[in-house]
Each structure stands twice: as C-alpha cells, then as structure tokens.
Chains A and B, each alone.
Chain A
Amino acid sequence: MADQLTIRETAAPAVGVRVPSANIYAPQWRNFVFVAPFLFFFTTLLIFPLFWGMWLSVHKADTFSTGRFVGLDNYVRLFHDKVFLQSVWNTFYFVLLTVPTLALIGLFLALCLNRRTRTAAVLRTLFFSSSVLSVTIVTLIWRIVYIPNVGLLSTIYGWFGATAPAFISDPSLAMIGIAIATIWWCIGLPMMLFLSALQQIPQDIYEAAALDNANRWQTLRSITLPSIKRTFILVIIIQIVLQFQLFGQAWLMTRGGPNNLTKPIVLYIYDTAFRRWDLGMGAAASEMLFVLILIAAMAQYLVTRNKGDQA
C-alpha cells in the first residue's frame, strides 16, 4: 500500500498538467486536523500510560503518588515472589490446555460445517453464539454446570449413581474446569477463521483430486491441510495472545484458588495493584506480561507479512 502511494506522489508532478492533484498529495500541516482528535486520545491514554507504567515499575508507588525511585527492586521482588512464579506457570499451563484444543476443535468444526446447507449455517451460528456473551454470564453458566447438588454435571452423574468430578474445588481439576469453560466461550473465532481460509481454496483443485480418485483422507492431507497451514499458525498465535490475558474466568470461578493454583498473571496484577495497592510492583508484573504478549504479537506480524510473499 505504502509503495503505491509513493509512486503516485512522485508521478503526479511529472504529469504536469494536473496541477490541482499535485497539490492535493503534497504534505500539508492543515491535513493534520483529521487525525489530531484520535492522536490526542491515543497519546494521552495509551502512549503516555505505557511509558508512565514503565516509570512506575521502577518506583515504590501507591494510588496518588509515584513514591521514591527503587531501581529494579520491584522486578527482583517479583522474581522472588513464589505467587508470581506460580501465576506465570499457571498462565502457561492454561494456554497449553486451551490453545491446541481450540485450534483442533475449531478446525474440525470448520471442516464439517464448510457446506452450503441450512443445517451447517444454523450450526455455525450456534458455535459462534457463545462468543458474544460477557465473561460474567459465561462463568455464571459454567459454575452452575460444575456446582455440586444442583449442577448439570452432578445431575447427569447422579443418573448413573456416580459422583461428578469437583471441577472448581479439586486442586488438580480447577484449571481444567476453567479451561473447559473458556473453550466453550471462545470456540467461535478459530472456527470462523478456519472457515474463511477453507473458502479461499480454489475449488478446481478438489475437482482434479476427485478425477484422480483421491479418497477423503488423501484430499484432506495433501490439499486441504497444506492450504490452510498459515491460518493454523495464525489461529495458534491469536489464541496464545488472547488466552495469556486470562482474568475474568479465574477471578469469577475460583478467585485464583485453591491455593493460588488457578491464579494467572493478570489476576496477580489485579491483586497486587488494585487490592494491595502496590502499584509499582503491579506495574512491574504488567511489564513482564507485556513482553510475553509482544513476543507473540511479533510472531503474528511475521506470519501475516509472509502472506504477500506466498501469494
């Protein structure tokens, strides 16, 4: 895009006759007024807080003052805090539980529902519908599934005279319980991304394969999957970035318990900064999260950029 613009800008004066157009594309300060309103909010509410947060992370700060400069002290305390290290591990564990599952179920659904039938359209609508709900509603629904006695799970187990696994209170199952609720909530997006990738595969390749008597498995393995390889990586990265930010589900379903075993990094930030009001350390923890997410975002950028080279 940028290249095209440059070509146009340099070519316009060469034409010579179209003087008005030549002026239009010359840089002018007054054109700045169109972007100024957005840039004002962007600078004051994103760029400034971004640097202010870095500044805070090297200070002993509370709500109203920046306090004294403590250097890397907050970071040192952070890496000696067992709860923080636990929360980093928890976050990675949660990402590991959710991201591959989301990608595989999403791909499976996309492959099955990539048809022009009414049933497929209804099912696509169904599988995406949970994505529009707020985290409060999703956690309310899933707590009522897991809760002993009146829960859906314990009722179903009750029919067979069995006891349902305690997804919220059992230390080894709590994170899995949160992961299941999250997969239920987030499955729509990977499915839709795979569907749009599948629709871009040229139909004539499949026709050629059918002429060669390729069976379904062969077609899937040698045509479909290679064509959507890039989307698969993209889905994985997008989901890593999203699931790294786990907060609401853990906060509302388990409060991070039992024993901090479901406390993710964002909940650690929330606890430190907004419940213990240690803003400096909270800021330091959020810088760590920022770095982790930035790495994933960089990977996404690299994958997206390569699109042009292949096509």
Chain B
Amino acid sequence: MSAPATSIKGRAFGDRVLLALVILLSIIMIAPVLWVIGLSLKENAELMANPNSVFHAPYTLKNYINTIGTSSVFRWVLNSIVVSGGLTLATLILSSLAGYGFARLNFPGRNILFVIVLFGLAVPEQAVLVARHQIFSMLKFHNTYHGLILPGLSASFGVFLMTQYFRAIPKELDEAAMLDNAGRFKIFWKVLLPLTVPAQATLGIFTFLGAWNDYFWPLISATKKDMFTLTVGMASTQTNFAQSEGIGFLMAQAVFAGAPILIIYLFFQKYIVTAVSGAAVR
C-alpha cells in the first residue's frame, strides 16, 4: 500500500475504516462461493445431520465423480461449446465484413442503414422473442443447433464495434494498397483485418461468454433434454431442491460448470472487462 494518501497522517484512520468496509464486501463476494465448494466436498448424509460439518474432515470427491458420471452433463457441455463457438465464429465473420463495409465503403442508403442497425442496439430480446419463437416453430428450428445459434446473429453490437474500429485505422493504408491495384476484398483481408485482432478478441470473448451464459432463448427453444445447453440443463436438475436432497451433488455441478468460466476470466480478464463495459456504454 504505497498510495500517496497514507503519507498524510490525518488520513490513516479514514483509510482503515474504508479498508474494513472493502474487506467486508470482499468476504460477502467470496463466502458464498467457498460455502458452495465446501458443500460439494461433503457426503450428503453428514450435511443433513450437521451443516457445521463443512468445517472439518472427512471430505470426499464422490459428488464430482457422480457429476461426471451423469452422461447428460457432457452432452450439455458439448451443446454449449457448439452453440457458443458457432455463434462466435459467425458473429466475427459477419461483423468484420459489415464493419468494413460501413466504415470504408460507400453504397446507396449507407447512412440510413447504419442508423437502423444502431437502433437494433435498443431492441431488447424480449420484444422479439414471442414472434421469433413462432417463426422458428413454423420452420421446425426448435431443438436444433441452428435454432439456438441463429437469433444471436442479428445482434448489432459486433457491427457497431467493428465499424468504430475500422474507422480508427488510417485511410492512407487502403489508399496505398489501392494504388497497387488491390481489390476491395483483398484490402479487407490482407491489409485491414490483421490490424483488428484486438477488437476481434474483445468481440469474440464477449459473444462467447454471452452465448455460454444465455438462459432465456435456450430455455424456450431447446425443450428436449439432449439439446439443453449447460445453463438450461443445470437449471433443470435443480427442481428437487426444496427437499434439499443431494445438495452436495448440486454444488459439485455448480463448481463443475462455473470453474472453467472463472479460469477463462482470469486469463482474458482485460478483454472481458473491455468488452462488457464497451457493450454497456456503446
């Protein structure tokens, strides 16, 4: 703690009060997670007898073995990977092409189209959900991978982000390439796209995370157990929760589903924070 503020004596007490408050809030952040991890390592019968048994041995990995033994969980993880991966890849392609188009090229109606795309940012999912569901019913898209992926392709945020990014690249680069008689697609692919890697990473991680955590659309579109994503599948196993049977097992599932995302977050923290704040402010 080498903050300059501590050098002024009068501030020491105030600093301590603030520190205590921040520590209290940190405990509130961590304690529920530690509790869940603790329960996931306990035999269910023992928990029912005495919840305080979390604080001492014996611990067991039985709940995790049961989680992994439940074949559905792997199917759900696979579904989530296919849906989130597919949506991310498609979003990156569509957004990069459109971002380049809006930022660099001119075509009839460009400005008005861009305004309409921006308006798309303000449309909440719930406003189109009912109609989308009916359309997908008619096309028999429910309980398929494309049924889960397609709605995400209409999100404007990626186009908005990529357009901003392409606009920030100096135009002289395109003009130089154009003097060499390079075609528009070649300029996009060879000259500009490699420069957008940071934006691609931000958009990619943001899209993947959003799709991985999405709950509403998969809930109403994937009604067959085999097509559940991890989020929906996990929610479906919680129904007998009230009887508090197999709490350790449920907790092991929560850790199993949450840990990979938290580890990814630790590695890509910078991109995730940029993407999420960027999406919020727009």
Least distance between A278 CB and chain B CB atoms (Å): 10
Q: How far is the CA of A56 from the CA of B18 in the complex (A)?
A: 54
Q: Chain A residue with minimal CB distance to B42?
A: A150
Q: How far is the CA of A216 from the CA of B33 in the complex (A)?
A: 35
Complex CA–CA separation, A132 to B258 (angstroms): 9
**Per-residue contact bits, chain A 270-292, to B (CB 8 Å; 1 contact, 0 not):** 10011000010011001101100
Contact A216 B14 (CB under 8 A): yes
Contact indicator B113/A35 (Cβ below 8 Å): yes
Please determine whether A283 and B273 come into contact, CB atoms closer than 8 angstroms: no
Q: Is the CB of A245 within 8 A of B107?
A: no
Complex: A55 Cα to B134 Cα, angstroms: 12
Q: Which residues of A contact B131 (CB under 8 A)?
A: 48-50, 52-53, 55-56, 283
Of A126, A152, A245, chain B has the most CB atoms within 10 Å of the CB of: A152
B273 adjacent to A192 (CB under 8 Å)? yes
Q: Is the CB of B262 within 8 A of A129?
A: yes
Q: Which residues of chain B from 246 to 274 have a CB within 8 Å of any chain A CB?
A: 247, 250-251, 253-254, 257-258, 261-262, 264-266, 269, 272-273
Which of A36-44, A75-83, A221-229 lines the interface with chain B?
A36-44
Residues of chain A from 196 to 210 with CB closer than 8 A to chain B in the complex: 196
> Would you list which residues of chain A between 34 and 76 have a CB under 8 Å from chain B?
34-35, 37-39, 41-42, 44-50, 52-53, 55-56, 61, 63-64
Number of interface residues, chain B, beta carbon within 8 A: 108
**Contact A127–B29 (Cβ < 8 Å):** yes
Which of A112, A132, A142 contacts B265 (CB under 8 A)?
A: A132
CB distance from A300 to the nearest CB of B (A): 8
Give Cα A36 to B31, complex, Å: 50
* B104 CB to nearest A CB, Å: 9
Residue pair B126, A133 in contact (C-beta under 8 Å): no
Main SS of the interface on chain A?
helix
Question: Nearest Cβ in chain B — how far from A21, in angstroms?
Answer: 6
Contact of B47 among A1, A20, A49, A150 (CB under 8 A): A150
Q: Are A31 and B216 in contact (CB under 8 A)?
A: no
Number of residues on chain A facing chain B (CB within 8 A) = 105
Closest to A231 in B: B281
Please tell me which stretch of B56-64, B66-74, B92-100, B193-201 contacts chain A, meaning at least 4 of its Cβ atoms lie within 8 angstroms of it.
Answer: B92-100
Task: Decide: B209 and A132 in contact? CB cutoff 8 A.
Answer: yes
Provide the residues of chain B in CB contact with A131, threshold 8 Å.
276
Given known contacts A290-B126, A297-B122, is B107 in contact with A28 (CB within 8 Å)?
Answer: yes
Contact A286 to B14, CB < 8 A, known contacts A28-B107, A117-B1, A270-B220: no
Closest to B153 in A: A41
CB nearest to A291 among chain B residues:
B127
| Interface contact B97-A37, CB-CB below 8 Å | yes
Q: A residues 88-140 with Cβ under 8 Å of B?
A: 105, 108-109, 112-113, 115, 117, 119, 123, 125-137, 139-140
Q: A2-B111, A39-B98, A129-B262 are in contact. Are A31 and B184 (CB under 8 A)?
A: yes
CA distance A56 to B98 in the complex (A): 31
A137 touching B257 by the CB < 8 A rule? yes
Please measure, in the bound complex, the distance between the C-alpha atom of A61 and the C-alpha atom of B238, giving whole angstroms: 32
Interface 0/1 of B119-162, CB less than 8 Å to A: 01111111111111111011000000000001101101001000
Are A245 and B124 also in contact (CB < 8 A) when A29-B108, A45-B132, A119-B1 are? yes
Closest A residue by C-beta to B91: A38
CB of A257 to closest CB in B, whole Å: 12
Given A29-B108, A129-B262; A117-B2 close (CB under 8 Å): yes
When the two chains form their complex, are residues A287 and B281 in contact, meaning their CB atoms are under 8 A apart? no
Complex CA distance for A155 and B42, rounded to whole angstroms: 16
Which B residues lie within 8 Å of A85 (CB)? none
A245 to B129, CA, bound (A): 13
B153–A45 contact, CB under 8 A?
A: yes
Q: List 19 A-B contacts (CB under 8 A).
A: A32-B101, A34-B184, A37-B94, A39-B117, A45-B153, A53-B129, A123-B22, A130-B29, A132-B261, A133-B213, A135-B231, A140-B253, A140-B254, A144-B35, A144-B250, A147-B241, A150-B247, A269-B130, A273-B133
Known: A45-B128, A129-B265, A155-B51. 6 other contacts (CB 8 A): A28-B107, A31-B101, A150-B51, A273-B133, A283-B130, A287-B127
